[in-house]
Chain A
Amino acid sequence: MSFTTAIFFFLAFVAIFCAILVITSKNPVYSCLYLVLTMFCIAGNYVLLNAQFLAVVQLIVYAGAIMVLFLFTIMLLNLNNDSEKHKSLLLKFLGAIGGGTILLAVVIALKKTTLDAAPMVIPNTTQVGMIENLGKFLFTDYVFPFEAISLMILAAMIGAVVLGKRDKKGINEETTTPIS
């Protein structure tokens, strides 16, 4: 087992372990922190695949922006630990069965297909994931989606501000009659 293969397996196992902890932790703050660890492992995989730009964007966007958003929301809501009512055990069991069935179906389908048998070159030496190459693609072939997505970000920003604004009526209702 070469060094890079060992790194891949290490990252993969940490990612899966932390992903399981994300959905099993009782406290949403712990879930959030484990999600950060998962994102770090995925960013490590991007580095192994020589997609440096995406690795950096992953760290900035997910581990930076989105996680801060999650943590701030959790702190703003000031949740108690027992705020989550327990779903019945049967439903949890059925959910796990459903997810496991999908996993099993995909794994069996993969076993029956013949994939390209050539091993991946890791660390990859192609220049595909470099920022120069991606920038050329982004501003020539994908320039219209790029501009469209900037509009979508603007719309999402306005939407978040409008949704988060509390109107006067809402304040009065909240202070006088809290809906339980």
Chain B
Amino acid sequence: MFKDIFIDHYIYLSVVLFCIGIVGVLTRRNAIVLFMSVELMLNAVNLLLVAFSSKFGDASGQVFVFFIMTVAAAEVAVGLAIIVMLFRNTQSIDIGTSNRLKS
């Protein structure tokens, strides 16, 4: 069973990483750790895309991963700017306090 690597191994690895990301988003309140969990989920998907692209010899999957990385970089830049704004306004990055932004 452990002699060769099958596509299953990559699928399981990606699913486990993705679910760890989901649990992180659901259980943490720190906005920065939340963002890291989202990054983890994005990376799990990237890994699976590269594995399938490598298996079928198709470069489209890797081009998509390239685009996903770009989107992730942009998302982190804007998201962290929003977190800094949130911290300036509420002195906390707990996502539970973001309802104070209403007033």
Using a CB–CB distance below 8 Å, which chain A residues touch chain B?
Answer: 1-2, 4-5, 8-9, 12, 15-16, 19-20, 22-23, 28, 31-32, 35, 38-39, 42, 45-46, 49-51, 53-54, 57-58, 61-62, 65-66, 69-70, 73-74, 76-77, 79, 83-85, 87, 91-92, 94-96, 98-100, 102-103, 106-107, 110, 115-117, 119-120, 122, 124, 126, 128-129, 133-134, 137-138, 141-142, 145, 149, 152-153, 155-157, 159-161, 163-164, 166, 170, 174, 178-180
Contact = CB atoms under 8 A, between A and B. Distances in A.
Contacts of A87: 27-29
The contact size tier of chain B is 35 or more
Interface of B: 2-13, 15-17, 19-24, 26-30, 32-33, 35-37, 39-40, 43, 46-47, 50-51, 53-55, 57-60, 62-63, 65-67, 69-78, 80-85, 87-94, 96, 100
Contacts of B91: 178-180
